[in-house]
Structure 1
Amino acid sequence: MTATSQPDPDCVDFVLAVLDSLDTCEASAETVDEAFGLLADQRRRLLLEVMRAFDEPLTLPDAAEEVAVRETGSPVPSISAERVHETYISLYHDHLPRLVEAGLLEYDQERDLVSPTELE
């Protein structure tokens, strides 16, 4: 097998750091795979980042707007309503249910409110 491009040193360093941390982790292989699966998508990581940053319940439209801001690197007035709507739909139908099922977030559908999970 012949490499066609140079490896990203930041990525290599990150992977090695993660592997080092896994050496001291007592999680099962299945748990590690599940965690990496949850974190594999950038939009899910950004939603978790938003919820950690605010550390309080947000409406899903507000959370979608914050995720869109982080995805684009643009301020809210520069982001189209269509982009925020697409982000909302993606969060509602795909990413949020996965994070709720994993116990990382809570969702009150009646109020359209996303909350960080109260971990003990």
Structure 2
Amino acid sequence: MKTYSSKIDWWLIILILIVFGYPFIDGVLSNQYSLSLTMFAILLLIFWMFSKIKYVIDGAILKVWWIKIDIHSIKRIYKTNNPLSSPALSLDRIAIVYNKYDEVLISPKLKKEFVDELLKINPSIIVEI
């Protein structure tokens, strides 16, 4: 079993800290501790979720959060910057096309190593990176 973590864009961290950090600080300074506590809890939840975004290759199965993909069903992998919501913390993404019409966008930190590992299991994958 091999685990790959998601690449994280620095601007995403800054954006989240601004959006939720400002109300946290403002709540502390204005003695609105319920606001501060709420914003701090949201920040903790977001960063906890970030830590859980991993891509696991377990035998012939690719696990992306709760999605299990048979690696032999993967048809194509291509580079994309699509900003759609997905289990990826960077816009430097790859799209994995599997089954007939299914697709998932991910952003492994070690992209080449990740794709090479998939190709070891299914050499018929078309790679366009």
TM-score of the pair, normalised by structure 1: 0.29
Instruction: Say which structure is richer in helix.
Output: 1
Bigger CA radius of gyration: 2
TM-score of the pair, normalised by structure 2: 0.28
